Structure 1
Amino acid sequence: MADKVSDFILQRLGDWGVKRIYGYPGDGINGIMGAMDRADGRFELVRARHEEMLAFMACAHAKFTGQVGVCLATSGPGAIHLLNGLYDAKLDHQPVLAIVGQQARTALGGQYQQEVDLVSLFKDVASDYAQMITVPAQARHIVDRALRIAISGRTVTCIIVPTDVQELDAAPVPPRAHGTVHSGIGYSAPRVVPTDTDLKRAAQVLNEGRKVAILAGAGALAATDEVMEVAELLGAGVAKALLGKAALPDDLPYVTGSIGLLGTKPSWNMMSDCDTLLVIGSRFPYSEFLPKEGQARAVQIDLDPKMLSIRYPMEVNLVGDSATTLRALMPLLQRKSGRAWRRTIEQDVKAWWKLLDERAMADAVPINPQRMFTELSPRLPDRCIIAADSGSAADWYARDIKIRRGMMASLSGGLASMGPGVPYAIAAKFAFPDRVAIALVGDGAMQMNGNAELITIAAYWKQWSDPRLIVMVLNNRDLNQVTWEQRILGDPKYNAAQHVSDFSYAEYAKLQGLKGIFVNSPDQIGPAWDAALAADRPCVIEAITDPDVPPLPPHISLSQAAAFMSSMLKGDSDTAGIIANSAKQVFASIVPHGKKGE
């Protein structure tokens, strides 16, 4: 039996199946850290360099395993530091539990050191459940409810534990009295499937369509076979939202790749020309990349009814699990005999991959960043796990990386935060120590978070059965994505805001006992990837890349093109390089009504 409340909290977490906690110590959480020590190895404690990284790791743990991620931090500043990573989990609908310390109950309300109103602080990010344990008898039901709500709602919950409560005697069984709560452990997800009537309505819409487009998101990650079979029946093409990149392999000829600002021209063309849209498990936010309103009849499948029909006016809304719903829908679908629409999509996709290869091989000074990704794709190990960071690295990841069946991949989707690439990869290694993890990051994100987390990698890598964790850094000395966004708005690059100080990432990795590879010419790219993948330890590849290679959106309007030209005329500091690279890559894409595949 647990002696203290802190021991009981951990015991209860273990009863729920929690085995790993991402935590950072502090006096506000010392009671639970002491209990962790007394747990005699029942839990694995992973300590990052910063609490924000703990929350990113817990989010990645949830994304890659499907289980709840748990992070632990002290009161005041430690709790505050968790917020960004927790919002990453909230916006990407991942089950994460945050446990944070608080000052002693007797001090609350007295403006005590590190006293923060944590219930108010967490009431947005953990809006479904944020509670403070004030007496031992609460501990059982608060832990149970926090976990059950996080798992069932795929959301963030928070438990706040004052320091004095952590040290009180445990009360595993609350007294059988009025005003007490008696809870239990366990949760099994229900089988959620739409009604037969709604399935028939959806099938009618899809059967009557001649040009069907499918958009697959994170909710389709566990429905790969079902999405493929429905796409074959309907003769449809499939675009993928960023969080759904691993839902279907990119070697399928009808998979058009990513959609949106970081998307592909085939996805743009398909959405522009379709007459029917099927959205599966996606909350993709940018309506301008979907069919024009009234152009297409539409069906959406989502487990969360709150997310239905908010991006496009759906004719039929199906509440259900993606795989289960698609299996129920398939017997009602008629195989389309005409395949002209599918052939058009496949021709478009084939031409697009050829164009991407040509763009990647175009000269740049000194390295075209696209080529780093293009040369990685055929070298990706089976079952590898890829984590991309926000910024231009996400553009090249979205378009140029070809995912194969069995791989996993993710990034910060809804929040689009800088900095999760390296902690995501670390969490992947703890969850799957036998699989290769690859983080694709920019120099801004590496300086923000990644450099510090190389220390974390150095501290733990020897316990992984396969030591390979590769961090590829695009060193272009520029916050590149924002720079290009400024130019599209008509403003030249603002050097004071956009410049990133140079740093020797590869040499710093070597200081940590890791492998470091420096790449500053195109002929070094392939050998660098080969050496990193053959290494006996984690590796940092530092690539000196050209910031003036444009991460082109799939469609550029005339107004955007005009604003871009205006930014050049205003004296952008990189005009010469931009013009040189534009001659190779840009102009074909900004000419309206260009050929499909351009």
Structure 2
Amino acid sequence: MSSKNVADYLLERLRDWGVDKVFAFPGDGINGILAAWARAGDDPMFVQSRHEEMSAFEAVGYAKFTGRVGVCMATSGPGAIHLLNGLYDAKLDHVPVVAIVGQTSRSAMGGSYQQEVDLLSLFKDVASEYVQMVTVPEQLPNVLDRAIRIAVAERAPTAIIIPSDVQELEYSAPGHAFKMVPSSMGVEWPTPLPDDAAIVRAADLLNAGSKVAILAGSGARGARAELAEVAELLGAGVAKALLGKDVLADDLPYVTGSIGLLGTRPSYEMMMGCDTLLTVGSSFPYTQFMPELDQARAVQIDVDAKYIGMRYPYEINLVGDAAATLRALIPHLTRKDDRSWREVIESKVRRWWEVMDAEAMVTADPVNPMRLFYELSSRLPDNAIVTADSGSSANWYARQLKFRGDMRGSLSGNLATMGPGVPYGIGAKFGCPERPVIVFAGDGAMQMNGMAELITVKHYWHQWEDPRLVIAVLHNNDLNQVTWEMRAMEGSPKFAESQILPDVDFAAFASSLGLQAITVTSPDDVAPAWERALAADRPTVIDFHTDPDVPPIPPHATFEQMKDAAEAMLKGDENRWGIIKEGLKTKAQEFLPHSSD
């Protein structure tokens, strides 16, 4: 008789694939797997969240910052449903995650049994690349192996459903027989590269341009040296899609920063002035922030043909690995002697950072939120990982933080969901326990998800080689991003009943968990708070009391958006006088003389 059942074999196969963490929450639909975990001595490690959605977000954070597949697990019915938001986050940001979920026993299926949900239908969209139910033991190795390989190959979530009675069946391997599907471990990945003729055509197009702009996304990660060399040869500036913020360092003088709704003025002006565009590893969706459609000749490089040729009328679309394709291009590129385009870009970048520094120092009531990011930038450890939640904190993350060296950062890019900041940080700590992690989250996101996950931090932080997980709360008692979106996009005043948050003492809650807790209500205390947190021997929550009236409106906001916001003020917005005061003081920094003038 076999010494292992299906659940035992599942964990064994995960270990063989190198999976060392599974982010999960228990339930009777996976009781058979939990029993196997006890027999396996918690290998791979069961990381218990407070909620299955957090398990999925933690798996996404783990995958984003390690480059390995993330694995999450939940019970049948409600547990499986709770995973969905995190899995959609993985789907839209192209992150490899495998979800393993339980199901009611096969004998009960179709009988309207307790917690019976049609999981194949439920997961069909979010795990569209691969979702399968294991109904006999012989299926398991092939289904699991394919789920992992497809997740990595397609950079997407996949899902496996295992009924509770199947988990407890004696494991039997697929045989050498009709309608059996044996499987094998591992995969050797290729490095895709366009053919030589396409490379030459692309190089000719880029060489012909006199004002070259580069747009780099997360797909260019790992091509840092090649991207910098191409930019130098072409005399180009480099703008970064939000998910590619950590692709190139912000202290390079030609890096214009983020692009788009949360982007910088130099990125916007570079795109409006260029005659040639090279996009590397990005499917940035906001066409209005790219050159006019008949303005620039363009080349795109992307490893995934499904996302090539989108967003802009590219003349040449190169399907290939970013680093390998750029290396192939470099010998065919001619260094531009006229550096006037580059010099203009660098001048605008210098001016931008001076304005950002000045805006961060504008007084507010009580603390200007930009000050948090400004004071952290110069203090960030060289190996830091930074996560930001959706909301106004994403604005300042995009525009104020200067990344350098090997720093990493991410947020929910395409789904832009609230609530992943803290679980991303936890996933990062489990994937990279030797690196300090900083999380920025608004008070809305903290009340939605973050406070409960502080309990998870309490539970596990002693296991991390570097105990520094710093959670910075932007505490303004307002769902600030939506408040400003209503003003700027709808011309509507603040609707207090939907936007005002109940006041919570986040520091007191963190202190009750044994974490270091700091409350900041004065701008003079911002820098010392960061220094205390980054020198601490435990995780820290900094409760920054920030001013909701500091406008996150981007520097390239349209006249129509500014008019709508002004009209919203006139309609009786309760914060109108504070907004007018802070808006005028902040905007004035763009017009005051600076050292680069």
**CA-CA distance at 1:554 after TM superposition:** 3.0
Tell me which residue corresponds to 2:422. Answer: 422
**CA-CA distance at 1:230 after TM superposition:** 0.5
**CA-CA distance at 1:350 after TM superposition:** 0.2
Local SS of the residue matching 1:176: coil
- State how far apart, in whole Å, the 2-side matches of 1:128 and 1:257 are: 33
Q: Does 1:62 align with 2:63?
A: yes
Deviations 1:474-512 (A, max 9, x none): 001111111111001211111111111110001110000
Tell me which residue corresponds to 1:234. Answer: 234
Change (3 A) 1:305 1:456: same
- State how far apart, in whole Å, the 1-side matches of 2:533 and 2:562 are: 40
**CA-CA distance at 1:176 after TM superposition:** 2.1
Local SS of the residue matching 1:472: strand
8 A Cα contact 1:556 1:589, kept in partner: no
- State how far apart, in whole Å, the 2-side matches of 1:563 and 1:416 are: 24
Local SS of the residue matching 1:564: helix
**CA-CA distance at 1:84 after TM superposition:** 0.3
Tell me which residue corresponds to 1:276. Answer: 276
Tell me which residue corresponds to 2:265. Answer: 265
Alignment of 1:18-167 (within 5 A): 18-167=19-168
Matched AA of 1:528: A
Local SS of the residue matching 2:72: strand
Tell me which residue corresponds to 2:251. Answer: 251
Q: Does 1:182 align with 2:185?
A: no
Alignment of 1:504-583 (within 5 A): 504-583=505-584
Local SS of the residue matching 2:43: coil
**CA-CA distance at 1:13 after TM superposition:** 1.3
Tell me which residue corresponds to 2:212. Answer: 212
- State how far apart, in whole Å, the 1-side matches of 2:536 and 2:374 are: 21
**CA-CA distance at 1:200 after TM superposition:** 0.9
- State how far apart, in whole Å, the 2-side matches of 1:390 and 1:406 are: 23
- State how far apart, in whole Å, the 2-side matches of 1:62 and 1:28 are: 25
8 A Cα contact 1:233 1:336, kept in partner: yes
**CA-CA distance at 1:17 after TM superposition:** 1.2
Tell me which residue corresponds to 2:386. Answer: 386
Matched AA of 2:56: A
- State how far apart, in whole Å, the 2-side matches of 1:213 and 1:201 are: 18
**CA-CA distance at 1:589 after TM superposition:** 7.1
- State how far apart, in whole Å, the 2-side matches of 1:364 and 1:176 are: 73
8 A Cα contact 2:11 2:43, kept in partner: no
Aligned length: 593
- State how far apart, in whole Å, the 2-side matches of 1:92 and 1:589 are: 34
Matched AA of 2:73: L
Matched AA of 1:472: A
8 A Cα contact 1:2 1:8, kept in partner: no
8 A Cα contact 2:359 2:589, kept in partner: no
Q: Does 1:372 align with 2:403?
A: no
Local SS of the residue matching 1:140: helix
8 A Cα contact 2:233 2:335, kept in partner: yes
Deviations 1:65-96 (A, max 9, x none): 11100001000000000000000001010110
Tell me which residue corresponds to 1:478. Answer: 478
Tell me which residue corresponds to 1:401. Answer: 401
8 A Cα contact 2:474 2:544, kept in partner: yes
Alignment of 1:285-304 (within 5 A): 285-304=285-304
8 A Cα contact 1:2 1:11, kept in partner: no
- State how far apart, in whole Å, the 2-side matches of 1:86 and 1:104 are: 24
8 A Cα contact 2:355 2:589, kept in partner: no
- State how far apart, in whole Å, the 1-side matches of 2:257 and 2:507 are: 32
8 A Cα contact 1:268 1:554, kept in partner: no
- State how far apart, in whole Å, the 1-side matches of 2:359 and 2:382 are: 26
Matched AA of 1:50: H
Deviations 1:123-168 (A, max 9, x none): 0000011000011111111111111111111111000000000000
**CA-CA distance at 1:587 after TM superposition:** 6.7
Local SS of the residue matching 2:206: helix
8 A Cα contact 1:260 1:554, kept in partner: no
8 A Cα contact 2:22 2:45, kept in partner: yes
Unmatched runs of 5 consecutive residues or more in structure 1: none
Local SS of the residue matching 2:81: helix
8 A Cα contact 1:149 1:157, kept in partner: yes
**CA-CA distance at 1:42 after TM superposition:** 2.6
- State how far apart, in whole Å, the 2-side matches of 1:126 and 1:190 are: 24
8 A Cα contact 1:260 1:553, kept in partner: no
- State how far apart, in whole Å, the 2-side matches of 1:129 and 1:45 are: 24
**CA-CA distance at 1:340 after TM superposition:** 0.2
- State how far apart, in whole Å, the 1-side matches of 2:52 and 2:43 are: 22
8 A Cα contact 2:272 2:292, kept in partner: yes
- State how far apart, in whole Å, the 2-side matches of 1:583 and 1:428 are: 39
Which 4+ runs in 1 deviate beyond 4 A? 587-590
- State how far apart, in whole Å, the 2-side matches of 1:182 and 1:589 are: 65
Deviations 1:7-66 (A, max 9, x none): 111111111111111111100001111111111243111111000011011111111111
Local SS of the residue matching 2:378: helix
Local SS of the residue matching 1:577: helix
- State how far apart, in whole Å, the 2-side matches of 1:23 and 1:526 are: 37
Deviations 1:231-259 (A, max 9, x none): 00000000011110000011000000000
- State how far apart, in whole Å, the 2-side matches of 1:188 and 1:36 are: 30
- State how far apart, in whole Å, the 2-side matches of 1:465 and 1:11 are: 26
**CA-CA distance at 1:2 after TM superposition:** 5.6
**CA-CA distance at 1:466 after TM superposition:** 1.3
| Identical counterparts, % of pairs | 59
Aligned CA RMSD, in angstroms, stands at 1.5
**CA-CA distance at 1:175 after TM superposition:** 2.6
**CA-CA distance at 1:588 after TM superposition:** 7.8
Change (3 A) 1:214 1:90: same
- State how far apart, in whole Å, the 2-side matches of 1:301 and 1:500 are: 44
Matched AA of 2:270: M
Tell me which residue corresponds to 2:352. Answer: 352
**CA-CA distance at 1:553 after TM superposition:** 1.3
- State how far apart, in whole Å, the 1-side matches of 2:426 and 2:74 are: 18
8 A Cα contact 2:23 2:47, kept in partner: yes
Local SS of the residue matching 2:370: helix
8 A Cα contact 2:56 2:86, kept in partner: yes
**CA-CA distance at 1:5 after TM superposition:** 0.5
**CA-CA distance at 1:558 after TM superposition:** 1.8
8 A Cα contact 1:487 1:564, kept in partner: yes
Matched AA of 2:77: G
Deviations 1:153-205 (A, max 9, x none): 1111000000000000001x213221111111111221100111111111011
- State how far apart, in whole Å, the 2-side matches of 1:160 and 1:408 are: 33
**CA-CA distance at 1:306 after TM superposition:** 1.1
8 A Cα contact 2:59 2:72, kept in partner: yes
Tell me which residue corresponds to 1:362. Answer: 362
Unmatched runs of 5 consecutive residues or more in structure 2: none
Local SS of the residue matching 1:379: coil
Q: Does 1:433 align with 2:436?
A: no
- State how far apart, in whole Å, the 2-side matches of 1:83 and 1:41 are: 25
Local SS of the residue matching 2:23: strand
Deviations 1:562-588 (A, max 9, x none): 111111111111001011012112478
Give the TM-score of the pair, scaled to structure 2. Answer: 0.98
Give the TM-score of the pair, scaled to structure 1. Answer: 0.98
